[in-house]
Amino acid sequence: MLTLAIPPEIVGQMAEQARAAAPIEACGILAGREGCVEKLYPMTNADQSTDHFMMEPAEQFSVVKDIRARGLTLLAVFHSHPETPARPSDEDIRLALTPGVMHVILSLADPSRPVIKGYEIVDGKTSPVNVVCA
């Protein structure tokens, strides 16, 4: 099983972003090295929807170039489920198109206790990723 290590301060940033955006879905990109996240890029949810997210291509291009300039790797796409569990929806699976990227979902179903889970989604097949706060 793949492992993704996310430092506590970045977990905190993700939860804060998700809470601030709720009931809209929040989204972001996690970049780092060798499975260890070093930076969260909060992204705009172009759909501004409570049950869907889509990143802005111009923002994506800008972030991908910044990741490259810093010598980092795009490790994972992050988004929140404001009211539902942290498991991939059919839409998450359908739109998991970028090769080699993990998918991290933060659930605010219980707002006082955010739940973060990670997945690898390849050709429509989902397998869990071991997400550790470290």
Partner 1 sequence: MRTNEVVRFDMLLKVNGEEVSLAEGLTVTELLKDRRVKMPEMVSVELNGRILRRSEFDTTSIAEGDKVEFLYFMGGGRATD
Calculate the alpha carbon distances from 56 to 42, 59, 64, 118, 126 in Å.
12, 5, 12, 22, 25
Give the nearer residue to partner 1 in terms of CB position, either 10 or 63. Answer: 63
Closest CA to 119 of 91, 78, 80: 78
CA distance 62 to 13: 20
Q: Select the residue interacting with partner 1 from 2, 22, 36, 54 (CB under 8 A).
A: 54
Largest CA distance in the chain: 38
- 22 sits near partner 1 (criterion: CB under 8 A): no
Query: Is 53 among the residues that bind partner 1 (CB under 8 A)?
Result: yes
DSSP annotation of 112 = T
Binding-site member from 20, 91, 111, 130 for partner 1 (CB under 8 A): 91
Residue closer to partner 1, measured from CB, 6 or 117: 117
Q: Which residues bind partner 1 (CB under 8 A)?
A: 25, 27, 29, 43, 47, 50-55, 57-58, 60-61, 64-65, 68, 77, 79, 81-85, 87-92, 95-98, 103
